[in-house]
Amino acid sequence: MKSLGGMALIALSWAALLPNAGQPNYLIAAGLLAVGVILLAWGEWRDRPLRSVPLLAAAALATSGALYCATEWAFTLQHQIAAVGPLLAWTVKLCGGTATWNGHFLYWMMAGEPVEIAVSSEGLALGKAVTVLGTVLLLGHFTTRRMLAACGLTLGCILLRFLALCLLTNTYSFSRFDLASLSLFWDPLWVVLSFLPLTLVLARTGSGVLPSLRDARPWRAWPLFAAATVALLAVTLSFNTTLENPRILIDDYHSGFWESSLAPFDTNSYGPESAYTFSTARRYLSQFGSVNVNADQTLDKAALPNTDVLVLKTPDKRFSAPEREAILSFVAAGGGLVLIGDHTDLLGMSTFLNEFSSKISVTFEFDAVNAISHGHFHNSSPSIFPRDSAAQAFDPTLFMTSCSLNIAASNTVLLACRDAVAIRGTYSAPSFFSEAKVSLSNQYGRFPMCVAGNFGAGRILCIADSTLFSDFSIHMQNRDKTLLRMIAYAGAHEEIPAWARWIGYAVALLLLIYWLSAKQKFQARRAVMGFGLAGALLCTLLVHAACAPFGCSLPKMMNPLPTAYVVATNVAAMLPEGPVPAAVIPDAMGHYHGDPAIAFDAVYVGLQRRGYQTRIVARPPPTVAAQDLLVWINPTEAERAQADNSATLGAHVLVLAPGHADGVGVHSALFNKGNLVELSPSVRLSRAAMGTAVDKPSVATEAGYETLYRAIDSFAPLTPQSGQQTTYLSR
């Protein structure tokens, strides 16, 4: 019993190490591992030497790790578990309560009022329960009757745990986060405490560990390891053609009211109508290929022949039947289709996009996804174990106002978030946003944010947020590169032929048959199964990481545009090393809660309005083109010396200096030192004086913009340069 209990605790440590919401708790994970190993040693010391304990612990860790990765991936695809709803309603009635199931939600009468409860895989903790149960069943000694009893007891524990946590959450507040009232379901401490009864039950159900496990030889699992590795790579390994000089068509006819691609983004147009456009995105993509905008005609077959990738973004009107037929025929013939949605079915855009995404079993939901910890933007990263290795080439991205995507197992998850909550929208608010409050009716955990699927000979790619690519945000955190990679992936074609994958399946099947036919007892195979599967997962991940740069190459830049590199180490900014908490990111949507005197988002976007693409960097690049600009904001002494040196070497340098702390000598003129222009004090151009990047400038802020523009105009005119006109900043 002690040995099985130790294995169950080792399996449970994955819940603290890789939670689907909240932050990992490494202390709890280490504690569970330590206690699990101690119980293993306690249960084994009378029968076997203690040298078998490391082998038992490794087997439990490997088996549970493989199960946890597989189950968490599976349940990420399907949050709602409708089949369990009637069982929960029956359990409540059995306990003397009143509950009904309407097919979508459980309604439980608490304190005389019905409480709407979403029955999700995360709330039920199915991945964790399956991991603990599967580890114990695979490595423990069970009769058939006891095995069935263990499965039934696990189901009962899942139901009772879920109902008990719902009751506690609705009655008391155990929140450990700013926004969350559901931390009982995902906080590692509460997860461990709520699963202890299950571990005790499973430990008492079995009669110890497999006898053959104590003498297992992990290397005997090599046929299973090879079979699983070959099968996983046959399914997931991908190499795509490079889409050089892509022909891109952006549809504005169905979305001209919202985020137009033709609206001006310059020094004469300000406010949300200007900042919330795709003009900068169109201009950025034009560096790599031809970009056309459909502004005033329907998308029939005559409009699509000279197109590689069609972009349908935030439509506010329905596509006609002939248009849908023409677009789907275009994709089936090998074209790429990019669908860009947004939150809460705003203006009906999710409804209109679902007419196309449904062809690959993807649904844009009518909700808004936010980070649980603070209720604002959430980070999305490539899936740890993607269905397509090319997905590993995508960069982590901070999503802003997204919906969630309901997908199928056949889809490729390119970007996914964790630690997020999906809140249903409401048509009673102008923006369709509900109150940012987590309740028992919300889904939470991991959500796919960018997915793709094959349709005929082409691909359909869906992304759940359009604000990423608006003028004021596209150059933040390499979002422009994400857009380009989306275009490249949607328009590319698989280079690995189908027959090669079928050969991989056949080889995997032969290896599996060889392993099963070897002269080895079934219990001995169970003992080493975890080593083989865990090794296959690890090997596949390593191959994916090695092949990621070659899985989806980006097209070459044909017409480079001027770039402004903003060295922002002493201001609130988002640096390329990784995303920072939303509380310190200056953004145009008002979610910045830091000192407005050190936020310079208006400067970043002002540079874009003057013709630059903006890059926020921690240090200047080693070389810049003659048309580029280096910008230092509040530089340190060392950075100021670096700025002077860059100007001496011939680069265009703009410095926003702090000025004098005593208020004497407030500079508003321009100081020229060769190729260096200095503005002082910098606070005159910060959010404290200029407002956000989407605000319409007042009389007071117009002077700041004019000062910035005069500084930029003091350099050479912005015209794309060709040839080797490069300035080297280091000698």
Model confidence over 484-537: pLDDT tens digits? 999 999 998 888 888 888 898 899 888 888 888 776 666 667 777 888 888 888
Q: What is the pLDDT of residue 670?
A: 57
- Per-residue tokens: 651: 């680069």
Q: What is the pLDDT of residue 430?
A: 56
pLDDT in tens, 701-716: 777 888 888 888 877 5
Q: What is the pLDDT of residue 48?
A: 58
Residue 696 pLDDT exceeds 60: yes
Residue 624 pLDDT exceeds 70: yes
Handedness of CA 694, 344, 185, 25 (dihedral sign): negative
**Residue 351 banded pLDDT, cuts 50, 70, 90:** very high
pLDDT in tens, 216-271: 677 778 888 899 889 888 888 888 888 888 999 999 999 867 788 888 888 888 87
In what side-by-side order are the strands of the sheet with 629-633?
613-617, 563-567, 629-633, 653-656, 676-679, 671-673
DSSP string covering 35-84, please?
A: HHHHHHHHHHTTTS-TTHHHHHHHHHHHHHHHHHHHHHHHHHH--B-GGG
Mean pLDDT of 636-662: 80
Mean pLDDT of 42-57: 68
Handedness of CA 587, 590, 592, 594 (dihedral sign): positive
Backbone angles phi, psi at 432, to 5 degrees: 70, 10
Residue 326 vs residue 111, higher pLDDT:
326
Percent of the chain residues topping a pLDDT of 90? 21
DSSP structural state of residue 632? E
> What rounded mean pLDDT belongs to the chain?
81
Mean pLDDT of 648-659: 84
Q: Which of 51-55, 161-165, 338-342, 668-672 has the lowest mean pLDDT?
A: 668-672
Residue 581 pLDDT exceeds 60: no
Task: Say if residues 707 and 607 touch (Cβ distance below 8 Å).
Answer: no
Q: What is the pLDDT of residue 545?
A: 79
pLDDT in tens, 24-44: 888 999 998 898 888 877 776
Residue 299 pLDDT exceeds 50: yes
Report all structural domains of the chain as residue ranges with CATH numbers, in order of start: 2-104+115-214 (no CATH), 247-491 (3.40.50.880), 563-728 (no CATH)
Task: Say if residues 588 and 473 touch (Cβ distance below 8 Å).
Answer: yes
Q: What is the pLDDT of residue 700?
A: 63
Q: Among 178, 183, 151, which residue's Cα sits nearest to residue 168?
A: 183
DSSP string covering 176-209, please?
A: -SSS-S-HHHH-HHHHHHHHHHHHHHHHHHS-SB
- Per-residue tokens: 678: 């200095």
Q: What is the pLDDT of residue 723?
A: 39
Q: Among 416, 340, 402, which residue's Cα sits nearest to residue 370?
A: 402
Indicate the length of the chain as a whole number.
731
Q: What is the CA radius of gyration of the chain?
A: 29
Residue 310 pLDDT exceeds 60: yes
Q: What is the pLDDT of residue 464?
A: 95
**Residue 729 banded pLDDT, cuts 50, 70, 90:** low
Please enumerate in sequence order all residues whose Cβ is within 8 A of that of 19, keeping only pairs 6 or more positions apart, or say none. 25, 186, 188, 191, 419
**Residue 577 banded pLDDT, cuts 50, 70, 90:** very low
Q: What is the pLDDT of residue 2?
A: 74
**Residue 434 banded pLDDT, cuts 50, 70, 90:** low
Q: Among 424, 442, 444, which residue's Cα sits nearest to residue 22?
A: 444
pLDDT in tens, 182-194: 778 888 888 888 9
DSSP string covering 653-716, please?
A: EEEE----TTS-S---S-EEETTEEEES-GGGGSHHHH--TTSPP-HHHHHHHHHHHHHHHTS-
Q: Which class for 11: exposed (0-12), middle (13-18), buried (19 or more C-beta within 10 A)?
A: buried
Tokens 């097919």 identify what position? 103
Q: Among 21, 24, 20, 17, which residue's Cα sits nearest to residue 61?
A: 17
Residue 405 pLDDT exceeds 90: yes
- Per-residue tokens: 358: 């449904």
Mean pLDDT of 291-312: 89
Mean pLDDT of 175-184: 58
Residue 616 vs residue 313, higher pLDDT:
313
Q: What is the pLDDT of residue 457?
A: 92
Does the predicted TM-score (pTM) go above 0.85? yes
3-state secondary structure of 414: strand
Task: Say if residues 274 and 264 touch (Cβ distance below 8 Å).
Answer: yes
Q: Which of 38-47, 165-174, 362-371 has the lowest mean pLDDT?
A: 38-47
**Residue 606 banded pLDDT, cuts 50, 70, 90:** confident
Q: Can you say how many angstroms the Cα of residue 212 is from the centroid of all Cα atoms in its chain? A: 42
**Residue 720 banded pLDDT, cuts 50, 70, 90:** very low
Q: What is the pLDDT of residue 92?
A: 92
Please enumerate in sequence order all residues whose Cβ is within 8 A of that of 418, keeping only pairs 6 or more positions apart, or say none. 20, 21, 445, 446
Q: Which of 154-168, 171-185, 354-368, 553-567 has the lowest mean pLDDT?
A: 171-185
